[in-house]
Amino acid sequence: MEKLPPKKALPKGVLAQRENGLYSFSPRTPLGQISAEYLNIINTVVQEYNLPSVRLTAGQKLKIQGIPEGCVDEVIERLGPIGEFSKCYVQTCPGKTTCRLGMQDSMSMADKLEKLLNTIELPWKFKAGVSGCSMSCSESYVRDLGLVGKKKGWTILFGGNAGKRVRIGDILIEDVGEERAFEVICKTLDFYCEKTKKRERTARFVERVGLEAIRDAVFSS
């Protein structure tokens, strides 16, 4: 029997839908912001390819749906820079840039954090949230990595999860500035990447190794 040719691998970030032969893709929307120029590009692409809908996801991302298999590459190419794959997305709120409750500049912090996370080969699915105040509009307490802005600085949480087994992240350190915050984040992620099991999210990782082991690794040196 003649072997069928291997199926072409999908571009990164493209997901198969329940409907056979249709796919979805989330264009890049760093910090949840989309310029008028990019809105026009998305609108043009959706109309040109007669795509059925664009959905706003729970994680502040757009999702273009109903892309036929034969058009996936063309659609991504037409999207230009916003069609570039970003493996890690940081959810954030406006913080003190516009919100009257904001204590810290969450937009700037989230931008730097997203750039950092996209340089790290994380072992499994990873979500981060940066909130400008303790109201935690970016759900920082139930993210793998969460930052919460307070009057004296940033609180860093690790090991949160909002899935079937909900877990509030543990506080690693409080009231730190940006430089110290990133030192703690980098050491924490180094330890997680080194000691985690295959496909182990941070919530289960913390439960397995214990918070004290993580703190020892992060703060002992």
Identify each DSSP E strand in 101-200 by its residue range.
128-131, 145-150, 153-158, 170-176
Supply the pTM of this predicted model.
Answer: 0.87
Q: Does 168 fall in a domain? A: yes
Q: Are residues 212 and 194 in the same domain?
A: yes
Q: Does 55 fall in a domain? A: yes
Q: What is the pLDDT of residues 167-219, one digit of tens each?
A: 999 999 999 999 999 999 999 999 999 999 999 999 999 999 999 999 999 99
Q: How far apart are CA 66 and CA 175, in angstroms?
A: 46
CATH number of domain containing 38: 3.90.480.10
**Strand, helix or coil at 181?**
helix
Beta-carbon contacts of residue 205 (< 8 Å; ≥ 6 apart)? 159, 192, 195, 196, 197
CA 127 to chain CA centroid, Å, is: 5
Q: Are residues 174 and 153 in the same domain?
A: yes
